[in-house]
C-alpha cells in the first residue's frame, strides 16, 4: 500500500511516516498541498491514503482535498485530515469537501489505528 | 464577543500540556506543573488566533529544552539536532497546543502558522494575559501563555 503524508512540520511528517511504515505502507512526503499534488502526480500508482494537515503554507490541506476531488483518476485515494483545527464548522467543511475522516492532533497511535481500521486501511493482524 | 465567554484557565493549559506531551513526547518523562512559575527562556514559539477571539498562544523555553523536544520528535541524539529541527519541533508544539486551546475559545477563528523567535525578551503589545503556566519535563521548564488582544479583556484588567 502507498500512503502520502502532507504536513509542513518535518517532525510531524516523521511521526506519521513511522506510523504508516509500521502498518506496512510505503510512504511519500510533502510539505504543503502543492508539493503533494506534484508528489502524487509523479507516483507510480495512486496512493491508497493521504494524511493531510490543514494549516500549511502555499496550499493548505482543504485546498488540496478540493484539488484531489476534481480529478476522477484519484477518486480511490482515501483522504484523512490530521490537524489541530478542531472547530465543528471546520470538521464539517473538510468532510463536505471530500475528506473521509478527521483526526485531531494530538492523536494517539491506537486512536489513529482505529480511524484507519474503520476505513479498511489496517492490515489484518495489526488490530 | 460575548461577555459571558468562558476562557481557558491555568488548569486547562496544564491539562492540554499533559495530553500533548503524552501523545507526542512520550519518552517516559512526565510533564508536571512547575513549582517555580518564572522560568528562563531564549526561544519563543507562537501562533496567532484571529476571529471571534484575537490573541496568541506562546511557548517559551531554553535552547536546551527545545533540543530535548526535537531530540524526541526526530528520534535522534540531543547533540545532533540542527537549528532547523529545533525550530520545526518547537513550532509544531506551539501549533498543537494552540489548536487545542483554540477549541476552548469563542469561535469561529483561524490560526496562523507557527513563528519561532530566538529572544530573551519578547513584547506583545496591546495584549492581556488570560492564563499561563510553567511545566517541567526532563528537568527543563516550558512557559505556556494565552494572551488576548481583545479590548474588553484589557479594560477588565485595567479595572481590576
CB proximity A105 to B under 8 Å? yes
Render pLDDT for B26-47 as a digit per residue (tens, 0 to 9).
Answer: 888 999 999 888 899 999 999 9
Q: Using the beta-carbon criterion (under 8 Å), do A9 and B92 form an inter-chain contact?
A: yes
Q: Which of A115-119, B39-43, B108-112, B124-128 has the lowest mean pLDDT?
A: B124-128
Render pLDDT for A3-37 as a digit per residue (tens, 0 to 9).
Answer: 999 999 999 999 999 999 999 999 999 999 999 99
Average model confidence (pLDDT) across chain A: 94
Residue of A nearest to B109 (CA): A87
Contact present, A23 and A68 (Cβ < 8 Å): no
Smallest CA–CA separation between B47 and chain A, in Å? 11
Q: Using the beta-carbon criterion (under 8 Å), do A56 and B113 form an inter-chain contact?
A: yes
CB proximity A87 to B under 8 Å? yes
Distances (CA, A) of A35 to A41, A52, A61, A84, B51: 10, 12, 11, 21, 29
Task: From the options 3.90.1150.10, 3.30.1390.20, 3.10.50.40, 3.40.50.2300, give the CATH code of A2-118.
Answer: 3.40.50.2300
Chain B residues at the A interface, defined by Cβ less than 8 Å, are 19-20, 22-24, 70, 73-75, 84-85, 88-89, 91-92, 95-96, 98-100, 102-103, 107-109, 111-113
ipTM (interface pTM): 0.89
Contact present, B108 and A87 (Cβ < 8 Å): yes
Q: Which of A113, A114, A123, A115 is nearest to A99 (CA)?
A: A115
Residue B160: its pLDDT value, please?
63
Q: Domain ranges in chain B?
A: 10-159
The structure's pTM equals: 0.92
CB proximity A86 to B under 8 Å? yes
Residue B104: its pLDDT value, please?
92
Q: Which residue has the higher pLDDT, A86 or B122?
A: A86
Q: For B10-159, CATH number? A: 3.40.1550.10
Q: Using the beta-carbon criterion (under 8 Å), do B95 and A84 form an inter-chain contact?
A: yes
Distances (CA, A) of A62 to A33, B60, B95: 9, 30, 17
Q: Using the beta-carbon criterion (under 8 Å), do B91 and A9 form an inter-chain contact?
A: yes
Rounded distance between C-alpha atoms, residue A78 and residue A48, angstroms: 6
Residues of A in contact with B103 (CB under 8 A): 86-87
Residue B133 has pLDDT above 80, yes or no: yes
Amino acid at each position: 500500500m502507498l500512503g502520502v503524508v502532507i504536513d509542513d512540520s518535518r517532525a510531524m511528517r516523521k511521526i506519521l511516516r513511522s506510523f504508516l511504515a509500521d502498518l506496512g505502507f510505503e510512504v511519500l512526503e510533502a510539505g504543503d498541498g502543492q508539493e503533494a499534488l506534484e508528489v502524487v502526480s509523479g507516483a507510480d500508482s495512486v496512493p491508497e491514503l493521504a494524511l493531510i494537515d490543514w494549516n500549511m503554507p502555499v496550499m493548505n490541506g482543504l485546498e488540496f482535498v478540493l484539488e484531489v476531488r476534481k480529478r476522477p483518476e484519484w477518486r480511490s485515494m482515501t483522504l484523512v485530515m490530521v490537524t489541530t483545527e478542531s472547530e465543528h464548522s471546520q470538521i464539517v467543511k473538510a468532510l463536505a469537501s471530500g475528506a473521509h475522516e478527521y483526526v485531531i492532533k494530538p492523536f494517539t497511535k491506537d486512536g489513529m489505528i482505529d480511524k484507519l481500521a474503520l476505513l479498511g486501511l489496517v492490515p489484518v493482524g495489526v488490530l | 464577543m460575548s461577555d459571558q465567554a468562558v476562557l481557558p484557565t491555568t488548569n486547562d493549559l496544564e491539562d492540554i500540556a499533559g495530553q500533548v506531551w503524552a501523545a507526542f513526547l512520550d519518552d517516559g518523562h512526565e510533564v508536571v506543573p512547575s513549582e517555580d512559575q518564572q522560568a528562563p527562556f531564549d526561544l519563543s514559539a507562537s501562533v496567532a488566533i484571529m476571529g471571534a477571539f484575537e490573541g496568541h498562544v506562546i511557548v517559551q523555553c531554553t535552547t536546551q529544552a527545545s533540543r530535548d523536544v526535537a531530540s524526541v520528535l526526530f528520534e535522534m541524539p540531543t547533540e545532533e539536532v540542527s537549528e532547523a529541527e529545533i525550530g520545526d519541533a518547537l513550532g509544531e508544539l506551539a501549533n498543537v497546543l494552540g489548536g487545542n486551546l483554540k477549541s476552548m475559545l469563542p469561535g469561529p477563528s483561524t490560526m496562523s502558522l507557527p513563528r519561532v523567535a530566538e529572544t530573551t525578551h519578547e513584547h506583545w503589545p496591546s495584549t492581556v494575559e488570560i492564563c499561563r503556566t510553567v511545566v517541567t519535563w526532563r528537568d527543563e521548564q516550558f512557559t505556556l501563555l494565552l494572551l488576548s488582544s481583545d479590548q474588553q479583556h484589557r479594560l477588565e484588567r485595567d479595572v481590576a
